[in-house]
């Protein structure tokens, strides 16, 4: 067997057919509905208590922090009240050792420290004025309420939300594992460390990144209708969408039900699906030997099974395992040019024994983007990446072609699975039939967004009856052709097809987690009867 044949065989293992996709959509819809009725289901379908939505006239200075799977972002957002905003942001990689710290305090103290640094750097006057007042006035009213930043805390892990700024951690995902934090209120954990540093910051709202993405996209997207779905394809994957409150029947059984319905004038509630756990029992998800081994070796075997086939944290590891399987097969000539004659680089291909290929999580998903998108002569880019990232020196063009083929198959499968989730939400909410779409009043919309660190101007055409989907995350943003693969799958899905596919608009919610969290912090302040930012 030639290397090319073997690569084709492995790539074929990642095929996810039209039939597979359609079966998965049906199962996804079933799990969505089930999750709305009771707890403990595969899709958690968590009510977010977010029902009030922005209309572009909101004003004020807010802070937002975002604990994703890879980075911690701190930002301040000035909402100008005329549909535009300015955003200042800093970003730091979360130290690996803190992801698996002994105590939650270690992680949250680090986060509070980053907030302090941000205030010192970007809001020095505000910060020093506050600290001065705190020092000189010692009574209970030692600082004025309006000096305090309301902060939206974007926390992208499954949380049992019991209030707008209160949520108990259900489980860690994406490589985090701090046992001590399970069951605790993550807002209180953060507030305690903020208070320990005497910072003028109040954790006003707990925001899932999907909800933030939905709100921010809705704020900036063109068209008359609000956004239906906010979806993340970054380190992990998840989505939140606008659901009819009447369908969230499990809320009626909870004490907060009365609360939710009296304050809710829209008849809708944003629901956080936690779709990373779709089909944990593998009824419809694909399961190659590489998927199975990855799961068995992960720190949460048997859960987040959808996420483990779709998101950035895992795609590199799937490819790594596929490549190692080929390498370990002596009959397959991968990275095996042993004479200079067989290799136009005139040197012997060598896989260093310390290559990250032999380490779990050694291969980053961005490598797949490089390989899949490589149009360079002789696949030079991929060979350079093999050398630089994986210590495979002097790989041949055939090697690179094999790697590219398998990487592309893994990326395409991920996008087709992403399409399953998005399509299921579109179909199950009835968004595609015009009547239902007109009745579904999502958040109001605006057209232009300006930020100071990055300028995002939405220039899409004025919308008609499109269904708007906001997305965020490095995978969907940077993986070449990710959206086109999603669209290809849409066209194959019963009930969507080519006509439906054209009506679904997908847009990146740039700075979504920051702006979305700010908008929710603002709404939270109003619901709590608190001061509005001015």
User: Could you list the residues that contact ligand ADP (CB under 6 A)?
Assistant: 68-71, 234-235, 312-313, 364-366, 369, 473-475, 478-479
Query: At closest approach, how far in Å is the CB of 148 from Mg ion?
Result: 26
Q: What angle do CA 14, 20, 26 make, to 5 degrees?
A: 140
**Which of the listed partners (Mg ion, ligand ADP, none) does 449 bind, with a CB threshold of 5 to 8 Å by partner kind?**
none
Given the rule CB under 5 A, which residues bind Mg ion?
68, 209, 234
**Which of the listed partners (ligand ADP, Mg ion, none) does 478 bind, with a CB threshold of 5 to 8 Å by partner kind?**
ligand ADP
**Which of the listed partners (ligand ADP, Mg ion, none) does 69 bind, with a CB threshold of 5 to 8 Å by partner kind?**
ligand ADP
SS percent in the chain: helix, strand, coil, step 5: 45, 15, 35
Query: At closest approach, how far in Å is the CB of 439 from ligand ADP?
Result: 33
Three-state DSSP at 74 gives strand
Give the distance between the most distant pair of CA atoms in the chain.
83
Q: Which is nearer to ligand ADP, 123 or 174 (CB)?
A: 174
What single DSSP character describes residue 277?
Answer: G
Q: Which is nearer to ligand ADP, 13 or 477 (CB)?
A: 477
Query: At closest approach, how far in Å is the CB of 363 from ligand ADP?
Result: 9
Strand order of the β-sheet with 59-67 is 85-93, 71-80, 59-67, 149-155, 201-207
Kindly give, in sequence order, each residue whose CB lies less than 8 Å from that of residue 4, ignoring residues fewer than 6 positions away.
398, 401, 402
CB 326 within 8 A of CB 10: yes
Query: At closest approach, how far in Å is the CB of 71 from ligand ADP?
Result: 5
Separation of alpha carbons 150 and 244, rounded Å: 29
Query: At closest approach, how far in Å is the CB of 475 from ligand ADP?
Result: 5
Q: Which is nearer to ligand ADP, 37 or 366 (CB)?
A: 366
Q: Which is nearer to ligand ADP, 29 or 92 (CB)?
A: 92
Query: At closest approach, how far in Å is the CB of 418 from ligand ADP?
Result: 13
**Which of the listed partners (ligand ADP, Mg ion, none) does 401 bind, with a CB threshold of 5 to 8 Å by partner kind?**
none
Kindly give, in sequence order, each residue whose CB lies less than 8 Å from that of residue 278, ignoring residues fewer than 6 positions away.
28, 31, 42, 43, 285, 305, 306, 421
**Which of the listed partners (ligand ADP, Mg ion, none) does 313 bind, with a CB threshold of 5 to 8 Å by partner kind?**
ligand ADP
Separation of alpha carbons 157 and 10, rounded Å: 33
**Which of the listed partners (Mg ion, ligand ADP, none) does 517 bind, with a CB threshold of 5 to 8 Å by partner kind?**
none
Q: Which is nearer to ligand ADP, 276 or 443 (CB)?
A: 276
Q: Which is nearer to Mg ion, 200 or 230 (CB)?
A: 230
CB 450 within 8 A of CB 456: yes
């Amino acid at each position: 067997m030639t290397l090319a044949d073997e690569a084709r065989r492995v790539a074929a293992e990642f095929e996810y057919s039209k039939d597979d996709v359609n079966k998965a959509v049906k199962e996804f819809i079933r799990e969505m509905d089930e999750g709305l009725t009771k707890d403990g289901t595969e899709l958690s379908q968590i009510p977010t208590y977010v029902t009030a939505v922005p209309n572009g006239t909101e004003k004020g200075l807010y802070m937002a922090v975002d604990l994703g799977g890879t980075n911690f972002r701190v930002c301040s957002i000035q909402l100008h009240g005329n549909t535009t905003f300015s955003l200042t942001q800093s970003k730091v990689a979360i130290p690996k050792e803190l992801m698996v710290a002994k105590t939650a305090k270690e992680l949250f103290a680090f986060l509070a420290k980053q907030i302090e640094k941000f205030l010192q750097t970007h809001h020095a006057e505000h910060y020093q004025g506050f600290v001065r007042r705190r020092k000189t006035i010692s009574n209970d009213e030692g600082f004025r309420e309006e000096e305090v930043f309301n902060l939206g805390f974007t926390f992208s892990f499954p949380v049992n939300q019991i209030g707008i700024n209160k949520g108990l951690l259900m489980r860690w995902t994406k490589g985090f594992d701090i046992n001590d934090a399970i069951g605790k209120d993550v807002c209180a954990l953060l507030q305690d460390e903020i208070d320990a540093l005497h910072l003028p910051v109040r954790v006003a709202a707990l925001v899932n990144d999907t909800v933030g993405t939905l709100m921010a996209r809705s704020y900036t997207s063109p068209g008359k209708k609000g956004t239906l779905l906010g979806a993340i394809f970054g380190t992990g994957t998840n989505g939140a969408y606008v659901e009819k409150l009447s369908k969230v029947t499990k809320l009626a059984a909870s004490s907060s039900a009365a609360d939710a319905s009296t304050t809710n004038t829209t008849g809708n509630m944003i629901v956080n699906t936690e779709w990373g756990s779709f089909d944990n029992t593998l009824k419809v998800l694909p399961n190659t030997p590489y998927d199975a081994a990855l799961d068995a070796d992960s720190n949460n075997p048997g859960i987040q099974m959808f996420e483990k086939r779709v998101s950035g944290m895992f795609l590199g590891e799937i490819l790594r395992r596929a490549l190692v399987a080929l390498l370990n097969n002596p009959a397959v000539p991968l990275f095996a040019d042993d004479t200079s004659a067989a290799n136009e680089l005139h040197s012997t291909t060598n896989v260093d024994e310390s290559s990250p290929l032999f380490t779990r999580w050694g291969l980053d998903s961005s490598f797949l983007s490089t390989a899949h998108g490589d149009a360079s002569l002789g696949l030079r880019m991929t060979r350079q990446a093999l050398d630089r990232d994986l210590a495979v020196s002097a790989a041949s063009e055939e090697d690179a072609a094999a790697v590219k083929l398998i990487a592309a198959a893994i990326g395409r499968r991920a996008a087709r699975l992403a399409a399953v989730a998005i399509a299921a939400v579109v179909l199950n909410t009835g968004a595609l039939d015009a009547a239902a779409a007109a009745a579904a009043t999502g958040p109001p919309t605006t057209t232009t967004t300006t930020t100071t660190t990055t300028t995002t101007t939405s220039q899409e055409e004025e919308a008609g009856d499109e269904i708007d989907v906001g997305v965020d995350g490095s995978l969907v943003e940077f993986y070449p052709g990710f959206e086109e693969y999603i669209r290809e799958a849409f066209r194959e899905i019963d009930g969507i097809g080519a006509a439906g596919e054209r009506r679904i608009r997908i847009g990146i919610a740039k700075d979504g987690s920051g702006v979305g969290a700010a908008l929710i912090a603002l709404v939270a302040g109003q619901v709590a009867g608190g001061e509005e930012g001015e």
